[in-house]
Amino acid sequence: MATTPLTGVEITELATGLNRLARNLWWTWDQSAQDLFQELSPRGWQNLYHNAVAVLHEVSDYELRVRLQDPEFAGRVRQVLDRFEAYLRRTDTWAARHAPQLVHRPVAYFSAEFGFHETLPIAAGGLGVLAGDHAKSASDLGLAFVGVSLFYREGYFMQSFNPENWQTEYYSLLDPRNLPMEPVLDPRGEPLVGTVRIAAATVAFRAWRVNVGRCPVYLLDTDLPENEPHYRDLTARVYGGDSTTRIMQEILLGVGGVRLLRQLGYQPAVFHLNEGHAAFLTLELIREKLAAGLTFTEAQAATRAECLFTTHTPVEAGHDRFSSDLMQYCAHKFCTQLKLTHDELMGLGRVHPDDPNEPFCMTVLALRHSRAANAVSELHGRVSRQMWHPLYPDRPVEQVPIGHITNGVHLLGWMKGRVRKFWRDRVHKAVANGHGVLAQTAHLYVDEANTPEFWAALADPATASDEEIWALRYQLRRELIEFTRRRLLLQGEHLTRTAFIEYDHLLNPDALTIGFARRFATYKRAALLFQHFDQIVALAKDRRRPVQFIFAGKAHPRDQEGKRLLQHIRHLAQHTALRGHLVFIENYDMHVARQMVSGCDVWLNTPRRPLEASGTSGMKAAINGCLNLSILDGWWREGYDGTNGFAIGNDSHPDSIEEQDRRDADNLLRVLSEEVIPCFYNRDAAGVPRQWIKRIRRAWVTLVPRFNTWRMVQEYTTRYYLPPEPA
Ligand SMILES: *Cc1c(COP(=O)(O)O)cnc(C)c1O
């Protein structure tokens, strides 16, 4: 094939384009874009933890130009960049059709954490990952959306263990130059600086912009020389420090966030408070309105009309409460600004405003100043209405104004690379053969792939045979096991001279592999599985039908109970009959999550009902053909239909915690030994577990089109973001 070499100008254009691409997280959910960075430096890709910006720093400008002289590579770069530009410019979007008001005036989404990708570890868990997925889908749908959060320079902690298996935490410094973010500059090209009054100080902040497809997310950062050291460190860590740090971070997020948006010229149509952490933004909105001449009551009403609040947990400790003293010390400036007495200010965050013993609760502040509020699953809605009923004493509990929108996950972000390629090839083939539904959608990269028809067509045996799906599942399990071997070798557990050989034989690529990975909060009951220890050992060691377990997760640095659970699980893995059948991967993050939810056969979830407000990792599992085995709590209570996974117990729970734990442990063992293991090992003459694969197909058809953030953001938009219809 004759090809003309590229001109110097063309090469410069492509190199610039690649640099721009690396600084937009769009590449994290586009397989061909990701392939380009991986190909530029395969080893760097791995060592730099899939950081496209860092890979481009690793490759010299000269090397990049040389590589782009290869017309084949340059051609693929051009294709990806064209698609990227088309994505950014697309005007025929879902939002243009269904919410034209929100194409120009944005939704401002405030969240104390955002989980976008493993290279930017500024999330502690599910709440942040949900926020990141929300932003990605808002971009896909063409919604004007702007996110606000903090830049945690030391990120969320890294996990290690001392010889007693007690979790210890350490932190590494993030370097903005090596991250997919850009400084926000003022018109003179200097970093834009804003200020917020916290305690007795005027704290300065700057901001970084993360590009999430079409949507910017701004991260506030107080690490500026003009601040006292104490305030320079304010944004150092995700949920670091004590409640003083907490309240100061939240004042910065709420007040600083609104000020930053104003400095940048934003007039958002809606302020969406993702959890109560951001609720101080309502006080800043009231202040603005007072300054414009409104009375306090008018300003409060106008603020309510602009705000939407999502509550994320029925666990009491998950709701920030600040003492009167702490408020007096840190937040007294609100009193001057809003012309309130301290007691009046406290009253805004109290269920009973006049009760001097009640602390200031961010959830109460948020509920009082939002035109609508929602929980994140149906059951969580019911529990939340009960929980906040005292705030609405003159209504029956069913009429407490908290609705629900069940969470989702960003489909392409959570589809493992291998699975993306699997479908891409098959969809292309089906399109070439004129397959109706698939031909209309043509690829997985648009929001139409969100329909039940599309997933029914994908799950059709004509698109992918049982044998192909089983081979895919085998590849995914092997990739996970090889990843786990590498990780355990690096973790250096029981290192011996023959370590490499030993680690090459760790875990069994043919065995039913059960995964459990999440924050080690007590209510998630990580050890429930091992309640019937001897029976679990017998199941694991069954030579004909072996089972193995992979665990991961972090406990909050101050959660002693969570750390005890971790210690227990690691002890089982190292010193009991489960050794070799149970392993623990350290440093759970989005990358580990992606490996586990795709490579495991079964995703185990054992929360104490009804404390798992929604849960999202099981949705990620479903996308990749890993079946859920879960308590009927949160999303699974809505998703499970008897054919698409496995349920532990039924849609009820006893009042007594002891009774609940006992019953759930019994049911778990029973379902595992009577349903899950037989179904997995029931192979036909060709060696294929037909019934198992049938369940995978059912999960694709029934779960994936519902439990994704395209559906979720569409629901937020039509039910909450659009201005209420005039009555
Ligand atoms: C998805 C995800 C979570 C949330 O999972 P749950 O099922 O809600 O516990 C937490 N941490 C990481 C890294 C995730 O990717």
pLDDT tens for each residue of 248-295: 999 999 999 999 999 999 999 999 999 999 999 999 999 999 999 999
Letter string b/e over residues 177-204, b meaning 16 or more CB atoms within 10 A of that residue's CB: ebbbbeebeeeeeeebebebbbbeeebb
Which residues make Cβ contacts (< 8 Å) with residue 3, sequence separation at least 6?
A: 71
CA proximity to 149, closest of 242, 212, 226: 212
Question: Amino acid identity of 510?
Answer: D
Cα(701) to centroid(ligand 1), Å: 22
For atom 3 of ligand 1, which residue has the closest CA? 126
Of all residues in the chain, the percent with pLDDT exceeding 90 is: 89
Quick one: average pLDDT of 425-443? 70
pLDDT band, very low/low/confident/very high, at 551 (cuts 50, 70, 90): very high
In CATH terms, the fold of domain 94-404 is Rossmann fold (3.40.50)
pLDDT exceeds 90 at position 68? yes
Asked if residues 551 and 517 have their Cβ atoms less than 8 Å apart, the reply is yes
The domain segmentation of the chain, as residue ranges, is: 8-89, 94-404, 411-464, 467-696
Phi, psi of 275 (to 5 degrees): 80, 160
How far apart CA 471 and CA 248 sit, in angstroms, is 52
Q: Would the CB of 125 count as within 6 Å of ligand 1?
A: yes
More confident residue, 27 or 494: 27
Query: Does an H or E element contain 257, and which?
Result: helix 257-263
Asked if residues 21 and 84 have their Cβ atoms less than 8 Å apart, the reply is yes
Q: Which region among 153-162, 437-446, 541-550 has the lowest average model confidence (pLDDT)?
A: 437-446
Q: Would the CB of 198 count as within 6 Å of ligand 1?
A: no
149: number of CA atoms within 13 Å, CB side? 32
Whose structure tokens read 């704290």?
203
Alpha helices in 23-51 (DSSP H): 31-40, 42-47
Asked if residues 14 and 70 have their Cβ atoms less than 8 Å apart, the reply is no
Letter string b/e over residues 206-242, b meaning 16 or more CB atoms within 10 A of that residue's CB: bbbbbbbbbbbbbbbbbbeeebeeebbbbbbbbbbee
Question: Amino acid identity of 446?
Answer: V
Cα(71) to centroid(ligand 1), Å: 41
How far apart CA 120 and CA 266 sit, in angstroms, is 25
Quick one: average pLDDT of 681-691? 97
Written as six digits, the tokens of 92 are 């025929």
Predicted TM-score of the model (pTM): 0.97
The dotted CATH code for 467-696 is 3.40.50.2000
Q: Would the CB of 274 count as within 6 Å of ligand 1?
A: no
The ligand 1 atom at the shortest distance from the C-alpha of residue 414 is 15
Q: DSSP readout, 632-654?
A: S-HHHHHH--SSSSEEES-S---
pLDDT exceeds 80 at position 449? no
CA proximity to 334, closest of 263, 271, 247, 268: 247
Question: Amino acid identity of 576?
Answer: T
More confident residue, 681 or 441: 681
CA proximity to 529, closest of 412, 629, 386, 415: 629
Q: Do the domains at 94-404 and 467-696 have one common CATH topology?
A: yes
Q: What is the pLDDT of residue 157?
A: 95
Q: What is the pLDDT of residue 99?
A: 95
Quick one: average pLDDT of 184-192? 95
pLDDT exceeds 90 at position 223? yes
How far apart CA 693 and CA 686 sit, in angstroms, is 14
How far apart CA 475 and CA 386 sit, in angstroms, is 46
Residue 166: left if φ>0, alpha if ψ -120 to 50, beta else—which one? beta
Q: Would the CB of 601 count as within 6 Å of ligand 1?
A: no
Whose structure tokens read 């590229």?
6
DSSP 720: I
Cα(451) to centroid(ligand 1), Å: 24
140 burial class (0-12, 13-18, 19+ CB within 10 angstroms)? buried
CA proximity to 717, closest of 407, 363, 270, 409: 270
Q: Residue length, the chain?
A: 727
Query: Does an H or E element contain 599, and which?
Result: helix 590-599
Which residues make Cβ contacts (< 8 Å) with residue 439, sequence separation at least 6?
A: 430, 431
Lay out the sheet containing 602-605: strands in order across. Answer: 582-585, 547-552, 512-517, 602-605, 627-631, 646-648
Residue 288: left if φ>0, alpha if ψ -120 to 50, beta else—which one? alpha
Other residues' Cβ atoms within 10 Å of the Cβ of residue 172: 11
pLDDT band, very low/low/confident/very high, at 89 (cuts 50, 70, 90): very high
Cα(140) to centroid(ligand 1), Å: 22
Query: Does an H or E element contain 221, and which?
Result: strand 215-221
How far apart CA 538 and CA 148 sit, in angstroms, is 50
Radius of gyration of the CA atoms of the chain, in A: 26
Asked if residues 713 and 107 have their Cβ atoms less than 8 Å apart, the reply is no
Q: What is the pLDDT of residue 227?
A: 98
The ligand 1 atom at the shortest distance from the C-alpha of residue 588 is 13
Query: Does an H or E element contain 667, and which?
Result: helix 657-671
DSSP 4: P
pLDDT exceeds 80 at position 27? yes
Query: Does an H or E element contain 677, and which?
Result: helix 677-681
Quick one: average pLDDT of 604-613? 96
How far apart CA 638 and CA 382 sit, in angstroms, is 14
pLDDT digits (tens, 9 = 90+) for 493-523: 655 555 555 677 889 999 999 999 999 999 9
How far apart CA 156 and CA 221 sit, in angstroms, is 15
Whose structure tokens read 């960049």?
81
* For ligand 1, mutation pick of 616, 630, 635 (most atoms within 8 Å of CB): 616
The ligand 1 atom at the shortest distance from the C-alpha of residue 130 is 1
Cα(114) to centroid(ligand 1), Å: 12
Q: Would the CB of 126 count as within 6 Å of ligand 1?
A: yes
Written as six digits, the tokens of 64 are 């990049």
Beta strands 270-274 and 201-212 are unpaired
pLDDT band, very low/low/confident/very high, at 175 (cuts 50, 70, 90): very high
3-state class (DSSP) for residue 356: coil
Cα(330) to centroid(ligand 1), Å: 32
Which residues make Cβ contacts (< 8 Å) with residue 133, sequence separation at least 6?
A: 408, 409, 410, 413, 414, 616, 709
DSSP 160: E
From first CA to last CA, the distance across the chain in angstroms is 67
Mean pLDDT of the residues in the chain = 94
Q: What is the pLDDT of residue 19?
A: 97
pLDDT band, very low/low/confident/very high, at 425 (cuts 50, 70, 90): confident
